[in-house]
Structure 1
């Protein structure tokens, strides 16, 4: 079975922030792609590399897969403009919800660092290639994800082959957390998930947060249903 990776370039924090800002201001389609092209031009000599980077930025902040409503994307851009100090949270949620390979890599990082705040690159590579295949394309895509996390200052690289988590970002705002709950559901490509499962996900390692039922009322696309001792979240 052919695996679609999609995450085929590394990204910089300012590229993501500027793209999100344009989306929040209603810029889309060809106009958005043209603006991203101009943004990237000073940093690239290869047209192919620039095109791939532009397409990835456009994919994160503008392209809509069938299972994601436009309101989710709109709210992400609007919340980012209102809470710009949490911009990484919104980039994270968008990448989780739209790029399964990105989610797979960060999920494995979360597992590897659950008891220790560092991991060996070789351990991560072994886990990813077991799931996706031991190919040069998979290994390059994994490197692009790692470099992106480095550029976003979520990982440090104190020694060759060793990566370390940086201090987590505390997230208490209920509107932001409710949006992340929605992102979690879309990342699994389902229509419902238990709140316990969402809280237990390993993908949240860059953040210090806890989702509770009261957060859900801050997102009118979420419905909460009690089931035994858990809450099931529907979108």
Structure 2
């Protein structure tokens, strides 16, 4: 198998929530890709030691990620992105974090991988040790120092978003903000985003609702029929007596 987003890391920067909000707002306002890039360069300069955009420095790499999340998405994520933009227009601002989270998971499955290990450790231990997350993620992506460093970027992003909080012990984090989500359209969309983050493109509904990759959120129960009524992007298959298998119809990576 060739290189895909499921084998690439991609995320090599801290991604602040306010930057994603700004990017999405610019998309919502109908700005062109070039105008969005210029605005982001102007607005993010103060957050970087060097604002030199003549070379491909930190600010440019960050903008590339932000635009890949909300503008330059892969072809198979276009419908998810369009529906995500529509949700941003119609749901309360406090729930926008969940939509940014879903788009990052889908576009950068490495984010979902770090989130999964973080969520599992929170459930098992009530706290997260950064070194433990790094070790578990390296089991999938390889024993490279690059992987450990990229995990640190994602964990720092979790801290910035407020879904983790620091403790008195260095490298140990507690659970932070959590949200109860009960809007069916948002839950269906997050389930789709979670499927796009999986190389298999399928999972049981129960596993998706309770996925550790969605550790900052509590998803209200939803029927498989309601999900299929909201989108034509998935198929529903019976999976045991009391569960359903949710499958993406197309996979173009």
Following superposition, the deviation at residue 92 of structure 1 comes to: 0.6
Structure 1: gaps of 5 or more residues: none
Following superposition, the deviation at residue 133 of structure 1 comes to: 2.7
TM-superposition CA deviations, 1:184-231 (whole Å, max 9, x none):
111114454321231242111101114421541333534434344222
Q: Which residue is 1:161 aligned to?
A: 171
Q: Which residue is 1:77 aligned to?
A: 85
TM-superposition CA deviations, 1:120-161 (whole Å, max 9, x none):
122112212232233332122111101111110010011212
Please say if residues 175 and 215 of structure 1, whose CA atoms lie closer than 8 Å, have aligned partners that are also in contact: no
* TM-score of the aligned structures, taking structure 2 as reference length: 0.84
Q: Which residue is 1:112 aligned to?
A: 121
Q: Which residue is 1:38 aligned to?
A: 42
User: Does residue 171 of the first structure (1) align with residue 181 of the second (2)?
Assistant: yes
Q: Which residue is 1:233 aligned to?
A: 246
Q: Secondary structure at the match of 1:119?
A: strand
What are the within-5 Å matches in structure 2 for residues 51-90 of structure 1?
A: 51-68=60-77, 70-83=78-91, 84-90=93-99
Q: Which residue is 1:219 aligned to?
A: 231
Q: Which residue is 2:143 aligned to?
A: 134
Instruction: Figure out how many residues of one structure are paired with residues of the other and give that number.
Output: 234
Following superposition, the deviation at residue 14 of structure 1 comes to: 1.2
Please say if residues 224 and 233 of structure 1, whose CA atoms lie closer than 8 Å, have aligned partners that are also in contact: yes
Please say if residues 164 and 177 of structure 2, whose CA atoms lie closer than 8 Å, have aligned partners that are also in contact: no
Deviating above 4 A after TM superposition, structure 1's stretches of 4 or more consecutive aligned residues are: none
Distance in 2, matches of 1:26 and 1:194, equals 37
* TM-score of the aligned structures, taking structure 1 as reference length: 0.90
Please say if residues 102 and 145 of structure 1, whose CA atoms lie closer than 8 Å, have aligned partners that are also in contact: yes
Distance in 1, matches of 2:162 and 2:226, equals 27
Q: Which residue is 1:97 aligned to?
A: 106
Structure 2: gaps of 5 or more residues: 249-253
Distance in 2, matches of 1:191 and 1:101, equals 15
